[in-house]
Amino acid sequence: MPRDLIVLLAVIFVTFSLRYFPQTAWIPALFELSSAAWSGLQLWRLISYPFIGIGAAGFWFIIALVILYMFGRDAFYGLGRKHFWRMILWSAVGAALVAVATDILLGNALGSPYLYALMQGQTLLATIFVAAFATAKADATILLFFIIPMRARWFLALEIVFAFMGFLNTKDLPGFLGICAAVGLTYSYVRAGGSFAFGRRRLRETRLRIERWWLQRKLDRNRRKRGFRVISGEGKKESDPGEVRKGPWVH
């Protein structure tokens, strides 16, 4: 089990527990995503909100931690530590910006008493980890509700459907759009890096291709400026004495 994931689950469990004591309930509340992120310029909320535990104490919170562990472990070992945390920050901050922009533009137009609730805490992390797995291992089989076998790729759409069901109950439009953004941003990040098994290698190959393309353009410019002439030909022929044999020293 990766140490990073152990620390992450521990932070979620501790902040979840702090909610149940009047003396400490203010601590997780300080890091939740809310309208204070823009109205009070409390910008740390845009980053901190996925790392707090939410929900009621009971069986379903334990199940949420188990889901985070299963999908988070695959994401960590597939992407590596650096890209694991970059993916979380990329998707979480992007989703928060979409939600906050919706809040600024529309306000609480639907009168929701649960603004930002759909994307709060470990819910957002679970969305990211499942979307990452579904993108990288699209043909793998996942047991929906631990019973129904489904292709992993369908979980990208299912996450949106589940979020929409939550939206119908809560009228939390910023939260719903934030979940949609998190799924899309995670998909784009993992696709840009390739599959889990080959993600880092493909990123390196892409960087090398870009460098090779840039060097080729630079050589072409120098050739035009300095009047370089490329000598072609596969070998000297008696009928064509001007033809030069192409050896390893000719480029």
> Class assignment of domain 3-197?
mainly alpha
Q: Which sequence spans correspond to the domains of the chain? A: 3-197, 198-251
Which pLDDT score is estimated for 58?
A: 78
User: CA-CA-CA-CA torsion for 85, 86, 90, 92, nearest 10 degrees?
Assistant: 0
Task: Report, in angstroms and rounded to the nearest whole number, the Rg of the chain calculated over CA atoms.
Answer: 26
Which pLDDT score is estimated for 112?
A: 79
The residues near 19 (Cβ < 8 Å, ≥ 6 apart) are 25, 28, 29, 53, 54
Which DSSP category does 233 fall into? -
Query: Tens-digit pLDDT profile for the chain (251 aa)?
Result: 888 899 999 999 999 999 999 888 898 888 988 888 888 888 989 998 999 888 787 788 888 888 898 888 888 888 888 889 999 999 999 999 999 999 899 877 777 788 888 889 888 999 999 899 888 877 667 766 666 777 777 788 888 998 899 899 888 899 999 999 999 999 888 887 644 444 455 556 666 777 777 777 777 777 766 665 555 555 444 555 555 555 555 44
| Rounded CA separation 48/70 (Å) | 22
| Rounded CA separation 246/203 (Å) | 36
Which pLDDT score is estimated for 193?
A: 67
Which pLDDT score is estimated for 185?
A: 92
- H helix intervals, 36-58: 36-39, 45-48
The residues near 233 (Cβ < 8 Å, ≥ 6 apart) are 243, 244, 245, 246
Q: Find out whether 95 and 148 touch, Cβ atoms under 8 Å.
A: no
What is the value of pTM for the model shown? Answer: 0.71
SS (H, E, C) 144-206: ECCCEEEECCHHHHHHHHHHHHHHHHHCCHHHHHHHHHHHHHHHHHHHHHCCCCCHHHHHHHH
